[in-house]
Every structure is written in C-alpha cells, then in structure tokens.
C-alpha cells in the first residue's frame, strides 16, 4: 500500500508541475514571422527579444483572457491545496475511509484547467492582434491540455482510494 501511496503522490506532483509550467511559461501561442525572431505569447506577455504586456489585457474586451488567467491560477492553487489536504487526511482519517474532500478539490482543479484551455481554444483569435493571428498553439497550451486528464484521473484515484493496512 505504501508503494501505491507513493505513486499517487508522484502522479499528483507531476500534475501540479504541469499546471505550474503551463501557467508560468510563455508559450501559449507561437508566431514565427519570416526573417524575424520567434514571438512567444503567454497569458500576460508577448516576448521575442523583449517582453511587452498583451495588448488590452486589462480592458473589458479581454474578458476571455482574464477568464483563462483566473482559471489557470485557480487550478494551480486548488491542485496544491488538494495535495496538502491529502497529506493531512492521510494521517487523520481512520483506516478504510475515503479521501473524498481531497478528490473534490482535485476534480475542481481539473474543471478549472478544462475551462481555461477550452476558452483559450475557442477565443484564441480574440486574444491576439492581427499580426499574431498567423501563429500556432505553443507548449504551454499543450501542457494545459495534458494537465487536465492528469488532474481528473488524480481526483478519481483519490475518490476510490482507501487507507489500508
């Protein structure tokens, strides 16, 4: 049983690392203009040799971008909180009880990641100015979509996990 708990902790930590990387790394959108530097755009900045804030990211017209920012941050926080709740429940629950509270928090993190990646997918043309619309999805976007099933599976594992001798 100790090996199963160790593997679950490793899986959870991998999901959290993917969430952190997807939220922080600046490659949600990648543009490679002919003869110029590659432009990486994340949820906050567009960077080539220098970084500038995403245009109109503070305006109400960029509500989609603000939704993606908020849900990715919330997903990362919820994933970390669920790990700490798991550790607390591991030592506090009686044997045979389930980690339901941990599972609920982790499933909420999964829902937040899905919302963020879905909104970004649906509204990607609204996020970028005309000169950046010819790009493609970057590594952070892919990491967000990989983090979604990992957090979902992790939440389901906590739901069915029982503490055994």
118-143 pLDDT, tens per residue?
A: 998 888 766 665 555 677 888 899 99
| Lowest mean pLDDT segment, chosen from 43-47, 49-53, 56-60, 159-163 | 56-60
CA torsion angle 32 34 36 39 (round to 10):
-20
pLDDT of residue 57: 67
For residue 122, the model assigns a pLDDT of: 86
Q: How many CA atoms lie within 13 A of 98 on its CB side?
A: 11
Which residues neighbour 36 within 8 Å (Cβ) at sequence distance 6 or greater?
A: 48
Contacts of 153 by beta carbon, 8 Å cutoff, 6+ apart: 11
pTM for this prediction: 0.86
Sheet of 45-47, strands arranged across: 51-53, 45-47, 39-41, 29-31, 136-137
**pLDDT at 82 > cutoff 60:** yes
Q: What is the pLDDT of residue 162?
A: 67
CA distance 48 to 69: 21
Decide which of 92 and 56 is more confident.
92
Please identify which residue in the block is written with the tokens 């679950």.
8
- Residue length, the chain? 165
pLDDT at 149 over 80: yes
The whole-number pLDDT of residue 56 equals 67
Strand runs (DSSP E) across the chain, as ranges? 29-31, 39-41, 45-47, 51-53, 136-137
Q: Which comes out higher in pLDDT, residue 44 or 6?
A: 6
Q: What pLDDT score was predicted for residue 159?
A: 85
* Position 95 pLDDT exceeds 90: no
Greater confidence, 154 or 30? 154
Distance CA 55, CA 57 (A): 6
For the chain, give every domain's residue range.
2-24+63-128+139-160
So what CATH class is 2-24+63-128+139-160? mainly alpha
For residues 69 and 58, the model is more confident at 69
């Amino acid at each position: 049983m100790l090996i199963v708990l160790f593997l679950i902790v490793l899986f959870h930590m991998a999901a959290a690392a993917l969430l952190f990387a997807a939220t922080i790394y600046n490659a949600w959108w990648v543009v490679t203009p002919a003869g110029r530097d590659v432009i990486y755009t994340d949820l906050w900045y567009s960077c080539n040799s220098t970084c500038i804030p995403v245009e109109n990211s503070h305006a109400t017209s960029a509500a989609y971008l603000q939704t993606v920012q908020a849900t990715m941050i919330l997903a990362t926080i919820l994933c970390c909180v669920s790990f700490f709740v798991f550790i607390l429940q591991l030592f506090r629950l009686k044997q045979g009880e389930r980690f339901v509270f941990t599972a609920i928090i982790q499933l909420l993190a999964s829902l937040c990641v899905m919302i963020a990646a879905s909104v970004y997918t649906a509204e990607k043309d609204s996020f970028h100015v005309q000169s950046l619309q010819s790009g493609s999805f970057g590594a952070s976007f892919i990491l967000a979509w990989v983090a979604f099933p990992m957090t979902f599976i992790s939440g389901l594992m906590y739901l069915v996990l029982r503490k055994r001798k």
